[in-house]
Structure 1
Amino acid sequence: METTSTAPLNGRKAQAARNDHVILQAARAVFVGDPGAPIAAVAERAGVGISALYRRYPGKEDLLRKLCSDGLKLYISEAEAALADDGDPWQAFAGFMRRVVDADTHSLTINLAGTFTPDESLHRDSAHANELTVRIFERARDAGVLRPGLDVADLSMVFEQIASLHLGDETRTAQIRHRYLALALDGLRLGSADPLPGPPPSAEEIDRRWAAEQRPR
Structure 2
Amino acid sequence: MKRPGRGEQAVRNNEAILTAAREIFLADPRAPVAAVAERAQVGIGALYRRYPSKEELLRTLCHDGLRTFIAEAEQADLESDDWEAFARFLHGVVRADVHSLTVHLAGTFRPTEQMNADAELASELAAGLIERARAHLRPDVGPADVTLLLEMCSAVRVPDATRTGELRERCLAVLLDGLRTGGALPGPPPGALELNWRWLSP
| TM-score interval, smaller chain | over 0.9
Structure 2 distance, partners of 1:179, 1:98, is 11
The amino acid of 1:134's aligned partner reads: A
Specify which of 170, 178, 197 is matched with residue 179 of structure 1: 170
The amino acid of 2:143's aligned partner reads: V
Specify which of 87, 90, 111 is matched with residue 118 of structure 1: 111
Structure 1 distance, partners of 2:76, 2:94, is 14
Q: Which residue of 2 is the match for residue 104 of structure 1?
A: 97
Q: Which residue of 1 is the match for residue 192 of structure 2?
A: 203
Structure 1 distance, partners of 2:159, 2:33, is 26
Q: Deviations over 1:57-92 (max 9, x none)?
A: 000000011001111111100101111212x21111
Q: Is residue 183 of structure 2 the alignment partner of residue 189 of structure 1? A: no
Question: Which 4+ runs in 1 deviate beyond 3 A?
Answer: none
Contact 1:116/1:212 (8 A) holds in 2: no
Q: Which residue of 2 is the match for residue 28 of structure 1?
A: 22
Contact 2:78/2:85 (8 A) holds in 1: no
Task: Flag structure 2 segments of 5+ consecutive residues without an equivalent.
Answer: none
The amino acid of 1:180's aligned partner reads: C
Structure 1 distance, partners of 2:34, 2:113, is 27
Q: Which residue of 2 is the match for residue 146 of structure 1?
A: 137
Identical-residue share of aligned pairs (%): 53
Task: Flag structure 1 segments of 5+ consecutive residues without an equivalent.
Answer: 1-9
Structure 2 distance, partners of 1:200, 1:44, is 44
| Structure 1 residues 34-183: aligned runs within 5 Å | 34-86=28-80, 88-141=81-134, 144-183=135-174
Q: Which has the larger radius of gyration?
A: 1
Contact 1:117/1:211 (8 A) holds in 2: no
Contact 2:24/2:35 (8 A) holds in 1: yes
Q: Which residue of 2 is the match for residue 3 of structure 1?
A: none
Q: Deviations over 1:138-178 (max 9, x none)?
A: 1111xx11112111111110000100111230011111111
Deviation at 1:212, TM superposition (A): 4.3
RCO comparison, higher one (Cα < 8 Å, 6+): 1
The amino acid of 2:185's aligned partner reads: L
Contact 1:158/1:184 (8 A) holds in 2: yes
Deviation at 1:208, TM superposition (A): 1.8
TM-score (norm. length: structure 2): 0.95
TM-score (norm. length: structure 1): 0.88
Q: Which residue of 2 is the match for residue 4 of structure 1?
A: none
Aligned residues: 199
The amino acid of 1:179's aligned partner reads: R
Aligned-residue CA RMSD (Å): 1.2
